[in-house]
Structure 1
């Protein structure tokens, strides 16, 4: 998939964010059905907010998410919505996650595709699962 330009009534944009975020205490809780459901929830949120997922990779203890978004969406707002909704829903559906005071840490990493190509970031994210 090449670059995806977004068009609103007055703006054409290419804003891609690479997010990395972790469960609280870097616990390895994102596997099996939790991983499957997390990906479904992220897809639903992205559709509702008009964010396009270029790549998502979920490891047991962290998530890589590469999104194409509109210029009206800040990284802080995106993370707030994603972490808030997924934490609430996953903790309701998977009772074993309630032992954590919250599902996600308050921190996250975000970068734009300014210094490297989107293809490089996508390849990096996709290769995360194959690393030993």
Structure 2
């Protein structure tokens, strides 16, 4: 798109179906590389990616050439297919329906990058549900508590 200039930074958060702790440290990095490839193949930039056994955080620089929901459908669909094809777990792997997306200015990126890098330390002090509710509240996102991830 000629003469289109944007700076769109999004943190995307999504969980394993039923918040099961299925992402194993032995293949977590491979999964994140695979997801990075999917995102880059759609001309977006992965700035940081990390997660826990039950959820993932991805910070991206997004181009305005694709709807976020379409990108996430690709990331979640292709990555779950890859996990199942490689038989990393003995049952069928799937992601939970939906995701959270939060926008940030360039000046906020160092804090968000550090936050994503330090997921393990962060979750030793706070549950994923509390973290997610805090992000929704801080960003003034209206939500129905019935559909927010519940602690396992």
Bin of the TM-score, shorter chain as denominator length: 0.7 to 0.9
Note the aligned Cα RMSD (angstroms): 1.8
Inter-CA distance 90–50: structure 2 relative to 1 (3 Å threshold): same
Counterpart position of 1:4: none
Counterpart position of 1:27: 20
Range that drifts further, 118-127 or 51-60: 118-127
1:124 aligns with 2:115: yes
Match of 2:102 among 81, 97, 111: 111
- Normalised to the residue count of structure 1, the TM-score between the two structures is 0.82
What CA deviation, in whole Å up to 9, does each residue of 1:1-60 have, x standing for no partner?
Answer: xxxxxxx53211101110010111111111233312211211211221111111101211
Q: Which runs of 5+ in 2 are unaligned?
A: 125-152
Higher strand share: 1
Counterpart position of 1:13: 6
Counterpart position of 2:30: 37
Aligned residue-pair number? 122
Counterpart position of 1:48: 41
The 5 A counterparts of 1:82-121 are: 82-94=75-87, 96-97=89-90, 99-100=91-92, 102-113=93-104, 117-121=108-112
- Normalised to the residue count of structure 2, the TM-score between the two structures is 0.72
- CA distance, structure 2, for counterparts of residue 39 and residue 94 of structure 1: 16
Cα distance, 1:95 vs. partner? Answer: 5.4
- CA distance, structure 2, for counterparts of residue 12 and residue 95 of structure 1: 41
